[in-house]
Amino acid sequence: MKKGKRIMSKEPKKVRKMTRDEVERKKKIIIRTFITIVALLVIFIIAMILNNFIILDNNKTTNLVINNRNVTSNLKNEILIEDDIIYLSESDIANFFDKYIYKDEETNKIITTYDKKIAEIGYDENVININGSDKGIYAHAIEKDGETYLPISEMTDVYDIEIANIPETKVITMDSLDRQQKRAIVNKNVSVKSSTNFISRTVDRIEKGEAVIVVSSENGYSKIRTSNGKLGYIKSNRLENEFTIREDMEDEKQIDGKVNLTWDYYSEYASTPDRSGTTIDGVNVVSPAFFYLDEDGDFKENIGSSGENYIQWAHNNGYKVWPMVSNAVAANESLDITSKIMNSYTSRKELIDDIVNACVKYDLDGINIDFENMKSDDKDMYSRFIIELTPRLKEIGMVTSVDVTAPDGSDTWSLCFDRHVIGDVADYIIFMAYDQNGISSTKPGTNAGYDWIQLNLKKFLQTEEIESQKLILAVPFYTRLWTTNSNGELIGKTTVSMKNINSVIPEGTEIKWDDELKQNYAEFSDGSNTRQIWIEDIDSLKAKVSLIKENNLGGVASWQKDMETDDVWDMFKTELMENQ
């Protein structure tokens, strides 16, 4: 008998109906679950609402608010408050106000600078010296746990700030007096929130009619600071009668646009040149050789009646006068003379006093510091000199400009400058873009090649991180004539003024353009010797000046007046106007 396949039933399964009791039980479970969820949601919302009306950030330690920013987390040390005097550590003052603050071992005083002020404060006397004048205060510097603390509440004149201590909320506020500040009146009792989020904690409560500081406003919310020193947000429509109680204060620049400076050099034994009846088209700053350090390191002036006439001539023609202060005599006598001054706060201070007094006496507009041939070990102390000089000059409306060489080369010629610090502190840093192959060179070469200048400008701007508008490019009005013998040995080099170059090149000499150096080059024989000259002319200078626009520099300087050809002034003027 054959086995057949079993046929399965296709009939649908019967679904058992829920009883009435089962349906009721399920309904009750769903309702209870719903009620539970709603209850939890309500509890959560109530908790959030209650949370909004509880001030959660009562300070356990003193908070510091500087210019409407809570910087407490950035403090390196605790804030000290003793007998109502507020002390900040030297490290924190360096962080917030003066990164160049330092302790002078010679005087055992803390030296600090800020904008137009330089101050010194000791550890024993309740006296602070600000810009050369002593002032009695109620505290002095102290030491605690190996850290120096300064009585910043007694130094508001130095840092140009106002300070408020709010013990109830453990908040100290510090506001710069040169920054804008706005206030407004609150038109309704309101809670101040930690953010603009719908759910955020309350940091303070303010009542209708209270005045608050308005920090900023955006998207219907205003960030404010309350009288308790708390920072937070309220809706902008809760404020009315907003008014500015203090405007931003910005120093006006002496020069509108690019600087066009020319050095008017003459030795300390010569008289100031007579420029009466002449003008220099396009120039807006002249720098005569008025001041120098002698072989004893003493500050000397070479002005006299001819110099006073020069100042009057310059001002009558709208030129600013930024005379040079040179250490050339002292440096040539001994590196130790300049070094001695730089390494003594007292000596630096005396030199600065002499410079400031001379600026006032002769109604000058600024100073050009031209210190060269210094020890590389004195780099930081030379920076200290510029750090301490600049606020004193700024206080009387004077410009500080500082000459530096290319960031490569010898210890005493190049490595003696901290260009980053000088560029940060001074109004202008001037790159003396010449002597690429100078008086000490052992082989012939260009005085100022375009490629060399371009490379070094990148170092100034990128490696040294100097603000481009502070950097002035100084170009030469001279070159050198090099002489080598038949063995290729260098036997002579002569400085040649730009205006005299044609007179030293024999007629018929082939002149070739070097596109890398952006200069004309000539080579000719003088008997058995070979002479070479890399020419400075209107074309080479125009190429150099084009780097000002390319790098958005602060302007041009030229060394030195009366070595140029007449056409350079019109070219400078045109190029700089196009660079505005």
- pLDDT, tens only, 507-516: 999 999 999 9
Number of domains the chain contains = 3
CATH number for the domain spanning 343: value is: 3.20.20.80
Contact by Cβ (8 Å): 101, 117: no
Q: Is residue 366 part of a domain?
A: yes
| Same domain, yes or no: 203 and 158 | no
Sign of CA dihedral 204, 207, 212, 214: positive
Query: In this structure, what token pair is assigned to residue 142?
Result: 């102290």
**For the chain, how long is the longest CA-to-CA vector?**
146
pLDDT of residue 58: 65
CATH number for the domain spanning 237: value is: 2.30.30.40
> Across residues 464-491, what is the average pLDDT?
97
Residue 4 pLDDT grade (very low, low, confident, very high; cuts 50, 70, 90): very low
| Same domain, yes or no: 546 and 449 | yes
> Across residues 277-285, what is the average pLDDT?
97
Q: Higher-confidence residue: 393 or 527?
A: 393
User: Across all residues in the chain, what is the average pLDDT?
Assistant: 93
Q: Is residue 405 part of a domain?
A: yes
Whole-structure pTM value: 0.90
Residue 453 has pLDDT above 50, yes or no: yes
- Map tokens 């630096």 to a residue: 348
State what percent of residues in the chain have pLDDT above 90: 84
Residue 29 pLDDT grade (very low, low, confident, very high; cuts 50, 70, 90): confident
Q: Is residue 23 part of a domain?
A: no
DSSP string, 133-190: EEEE-S---EEETTEEEE-GGG-HHHHTEEEEEETTTTEEEEEETTS-EEEEEE-S-E
Q: Is residue 323 part of a domain?
A: yes
pLDDT of residue 286: 98
| Same domain, yes or no: 274 and 192 | no
Strands 202-206 and 211-218: unpaired
Q: Of the residues 218, 246, 274, which one is the last residue of a structural domain?
A: 246
Q: Give the 3-state secondary structure of residue 131.
A: coil
> Across residues 189-217, what is the average pLDDT?
94
Q: What is the pLDDT of residues 106-124, one digit of tens each?
A: 999 999 999 999 999 999 9
Distance CA(86)–CA(342), nearest Å, equals 33
Contact by Cβ (8 Å): 134, 140: no
DSSP state of 194: S
Q: Is residue 78 part of a domain?
A: yes
| Same domain, yes or no: 229 and 320 | no
* Amino acid symbol at 470: K
Distance CA(497)–CA(559), nearest Å, equals 10
Which one, of 338, 336, 401, 337, lies nearest residue 366 by Cα? 401
Query: In this structure, what token pair is assigned to residue 309?
Result: 């006439």
Query: In this structure, what token pair is assigned to residue 575?
Result: 């190029």
Residue 54 has pLDDT above 70, yes or no: no
Q: Give the 3-state secondary structure of residue 280.
A: coil
Residue 372 has pLDDT above 60, yes or no: yes
Residue 11 has pLDDT above 70, yes or no: no
| Same domain, yes or no: 225 and 160 | no
Q: Is residue 362 part of a domain?
A: yes
Q: Of the residues 166, 200, 218, which one is the last residue of a structural domain?
A: 166
| Same domain, yes or no: 357 and 459 | yes
Which one, of 493, 484, 487, 488, lies nearest residue 526 by Cα? 484
| Same domain, yes or no: 93 and 190 | no
Q: Is residue 199 part of a domain?
A: yes
| Same domain, yes or no: 232 and 266 | no
pLDDT of residue 5: 45
- Residue-number span of the structural domain to which 205 is assigned: 180-246
Query: In this structure, what token pair is assigned to residue 371?
Result: 């210190």
- Map tokens 């990148």 to a residue: 458
Which bin fits 527, alpha (ψ -120 to 50), beta or left (φ > 0)? Answer: left
Q: Of the residues 217, 246, 275, which one is the last residue of a structural domain?
A: 246
| Same domain, yes or no: 433 and 317 | yes
pLDDT of residue 154: 98
DSSP state of 26: H
Which one, of 384, 287, 306, 394, lies nearest residue 344 by Cα? 384
Phi, psi of 236 (to 5 degrees): -60, -30
> Across residues 90-97, what is the average pLDDT?
98
> Across residues 270-298, what is the average pLDDT?
97
Q: Is residue 511 part of a domain?
A: no
Least confident of 65-69, 193-197, 302-306, 555-559: 193-197
User: Cβ–Cβ contacts within 10 Å for residue 345, how many?
Assistant: 20
| Same domain, yes or no: 415 and 553 | yes
Whether omega before 181 lies within 30 degrees of 0, making that bond cis, reads: no
| Same domain, yes or no: 264 and 344 | yes
| Same domain, yes or no: 361 and 426 | yes
> Across residues 140-153, what is the average pLDDT?
97
Residue 56 pLDDT grade (very low, low, confident, very high; cuts 50, 70, 90): very low
